[in-house]
Amino acid sequence: MKIVERHPQLIAAAIAATGALFLGASILEFPFLQTEPPGVYFLMALAIVFLFCGSYFLIKANRGQLDPSGKTVTDVRLRAIENMDSAELLSQIAREDPDVNVREKALARLEEIAA
């Protein structure tokens, strides 16, 4: 499996490992990371949050539940263009938008309005 396909797992594992390091530093006294009250309590809380979140997203990523679902930004923009009535805004979108599909939709909507 390619490393790009494992990015969510790697990031979640790194967050969990950071939480483990912080928790270890707050319980044990590491020479490279010394903590003193009241900061140690905040560090413990942060470590627990990192551990929980990293573990949660690692499990979700391994199950394949982090895949995007629902409408994309382009779908929403195309839907918005269908409802636009401003010829000026539609012509600007038709000229300057970086997405070809959005430009074409704006041009088609502009022709509908002009007809």
pLDDT tens digits, residue range 28-44?
Answer: 887 887 778 888 889 89
In contact, 44 and 97? CB cutoff 8 Å: no
Residue with tokens 């391994």: 62
- In this prediction, residue 49 carries a pLDDT of 96
| Separation CA 109–CA 13 (nearest Å) | 47
- In tens, the pLDDT along 82-112 reads 999 888 999 999 999 999 999 999 999 999 8
- In tens, the pLDDT along 60-83 reads 988 888 777 788 888 999 999 999
Which helix (H) or strand (E) is 18 found in, with range? helix 7-27
Task: Of 13, 7, 25, 22, give the one whose Cα is nearest residue 53.
Answer: 13
Q: State the pTM of this model.
A: 0.57
pLDDT band at 2 (very low <50, low <70, confident <90, very high): low
